[in-house]
């Protein structure tokens, strides 16, 4: 087969030359980075080491012109001697020479909010890794960015290096989503995975996770579902084109999950995962974060350790699964770089996927109206009539039992009994559990985990 003609080869060579030099021809994109903690340092390192790659993909250089952090002496792994330092990050955001402010401080209000407000007030693009800020104020910030004609990007705020915001906002733009769910917190996923693999209890695994740095000294943000709720509120807004509604997210953590529950789940063919789920129903949009029993055969069941995963189900595309590292300096820095490249290249998409004026006022569906199947674990006195009393409480609330497991016989002693139900309304399930808990033969509060059939 003959190769290209000399004329064609020269033309291709000229095109490649133009592509390689366009980054030098266009003025650089000057950015300011507020917050140089773990993520901030990672972002600086990526921008330094991948500078040529980013310039080729963006069509211009991306240059760190200013930074703001409390400790100037700390080594961030890059040379910052030529970069302007600001004590006041909000003042840095107003610097007329800055094109983009990268906010990596964190927190829904305080200095992080002031930085983003200042940047938008002065007509600067914003990239933020701040899930709390976006979950609490995302809709109003998006509206201000649109009014100012600038970009508000927040890919690094959800699922670390997984490009889930871009996938929902752009890659799946031709679909109406039916359901969106995922493992959105690596700490909880690590704990549940380790409990299953080591047969240790929750408290033991949490303590080990804290030693390894996977869990904070105060782990409540992670293990009580708050972190995942922030992320789900953001994803649901982008995925379903509605205002960000953190108050509408039901959040329940993993403190009550025991090794016994994990063992029973395995026996029943399930894995326990802390999931964030947004689902359209006839009544509106469910937004809920809680432990779930998911079939072992599903992709989400195989995501272990500190990894995150997001599954989107669209009317044309079907099921799309995204999995990767959901936190850490390098994955989050990757997401920061992706947002900066889009801004440098002049690619603009409405922050929440559609203009804020076009967001849908989808009603939220409270958890009490959720319909699904349930796993119930009871600790009861082993004596005649116990199961009949439990069955009567379920019957009275029209909850249908699917299966029951009781191990061994120990007359007069405490034994576990596990029930699974057919699909029922949560309000009825809760009423039945309240009646069951009141029985003299039930020794502790029933443990309930929702079963999700993916």
**Rounded percentage of the chain residues whose pLDDT exceeds 70:** 94
How confident is the model at residue 90, as a pLDDT?
A: 96
Q: What is the pLDDT of residues 329-371, one digit of tens each?
A: 999 999 999 999 999 999 999 999 999 999 999 999 999 999 9
Q: Which helix (H) or strand (E) holds 251?
A: strand 250-251
> In the predicted model, what is the mean pLDDT of the chain?
93
Domains of the chain: 6-157 (3.40.50.720), 164-327+358-367 (3.30.360.10), 370-451 (3.30.70.260)
How confident is the model at residue 19, as a pLDDT?
A: 52
Identify the active-site residue in 124, 166, 231, 273: 231
Q: Confirm whether 148 is a catalytic residue.
A: no
Length of the chain counted residue by residue: 454
Q: Which residues pair with 415 in a beta bridge?
A: 380
Query: How many CB atoms are closer than 10 A to CB 406?
Result: 15
C-alpha to C-alpha distance for 94 and 114, rounded to whole angstroms? 11
The stretch 181-199 carries a mean pLDDT of 96
Residue with the two structure tokens 């927040």: 154
How confident is the model at residue 6, as a pLDDT?
A: 59
How confident is the model at residue 412, as a pLDDT?
A: 76
Q: What is the pLDDT of residues 376-395, one digit of tens each?
A: 999 999 888 999 999 999 99
What confidence tier does 1 reach under pLDDT thresholds 50, 70, 90?
very low
Q: What is the pLDDT of residues 243-272, one digit of tens each?
A: 999 999 999 999 999 999 999 999 999 999
Please tell me the least confidently modeled range out of 83-97, 108-122, 177-191, 407-421. Answer: 407-421
pLDDT of 20 > 60? The answer is no
The stretch 314-326 carries a mean pLDDT of 95
Q: What is the pLDDT of residues 93-144, one digit of tens each?
A: 999 999 999 999 999 999 999 999 999 999 999 999 999 999 999 999 999 9
C-alpha to C-alpha distance for 112 and 108, rounded to whole angstroms? 7
How confident is the model at residue 23, as a pLDDT?
A: 42
What confidence tier does 4 reach under pLDDT thresholds 50, 70, 90?
low
How confident is the model at residue 8, as a pLDDT?
A: 57
**Sequence-distant (≥ 6) Cβ neighbours of residue 182 within 8 angstroms:** 159, 164, 235, 275, 276, 300, 308, 309, 310, 311
């Amino acid at each position: 087969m003959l190769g290209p003609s000399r004329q064609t080869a020269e033309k291709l060579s000229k095109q490649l030359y133009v592509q390689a030099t366009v980054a030098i021809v266009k003025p650089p994109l000057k950015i300011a980075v507020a917050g140089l903690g773990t993520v901030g340092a990672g972002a600086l390192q990526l921008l330094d080491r991948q500078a040529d790659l980013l310039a080729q993909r963006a069509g211009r250089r991306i240059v760190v012109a200013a930074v703001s952090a409390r400790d100037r002496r700390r080594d961030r792994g890059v040379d910052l001697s030529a970069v302007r330092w600001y004590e006041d990050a909000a003042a840095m955001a107003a610097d007329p020479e800055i094109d983009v402010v990268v906010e990596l401080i964190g927190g829904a209000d305080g200095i992080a909010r002031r930085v983003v407000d200042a940047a938008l007030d002065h007509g600067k693009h914003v990239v933020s890794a701040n899930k709390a800020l976006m979950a609490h104020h995302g809709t109003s910030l998006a509206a201000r960015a649109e009014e100012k004609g600038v970009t508000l990007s927040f890919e690094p705020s959800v699922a670390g290096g997984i490009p889930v915001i871009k996938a929902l906002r752009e890659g799946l733009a031709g679909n109406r989503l039916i359901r969106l769910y995922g493992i959105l917190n690596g700490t909880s996923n690590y704990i549940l995975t380790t409990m299953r693999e080591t047969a240790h209890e929750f408290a033991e695994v949490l303590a080990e996770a804290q030693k390894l740095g996977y869990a904070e000294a105060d782990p409540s943000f992670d293990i009580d579902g708050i972190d995942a709720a922030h992320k789900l509120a953001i994803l649901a807004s982008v995925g379903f084109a509605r205002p960000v509604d953190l108050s509408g997210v039901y959040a329940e953590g993993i403190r009550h999950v025991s090794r016994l529950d994990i063992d029973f789940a395995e026996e029943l063919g399930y894995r326990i995962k802390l999931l964030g789920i947004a689902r359209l129903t006839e009544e509106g949009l469910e937004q809920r974060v809680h432990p779930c029993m998911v079939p072992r055969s599903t992709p989400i069941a195989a995501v272990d350790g500190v990894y995150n995963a997001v599954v989107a189900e669209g009317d044309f595309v079907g099921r799309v699964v995204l999995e990767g590292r959901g936190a850490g300096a390098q994955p989050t820095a990757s997401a920061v770089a992706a947002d900066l490249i889009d801004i440098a290249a002049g690619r603009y998409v409405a922050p929440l996927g559609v203009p804020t004026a076009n967001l849908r006022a989808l009603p939220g569906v409270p958890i009490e109206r959720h319909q699904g199947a349930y796993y119930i674990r009871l600790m009861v006195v082993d004596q005649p009539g116990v199961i009949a009393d439990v069955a009567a409480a379920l019957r009275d609330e029209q909850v249908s039992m699917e299966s029951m497991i009781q191990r061994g016989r120990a007359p007069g002693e405490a034994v576990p009994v596990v029930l699974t139900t057919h699909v029922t309304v949560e309000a009825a399930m809760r009423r039945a559990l309240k009646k069951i808990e009141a029985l003299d033969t039930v020794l502790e509060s029933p443990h309930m985990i929702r079963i999700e059939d993916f």
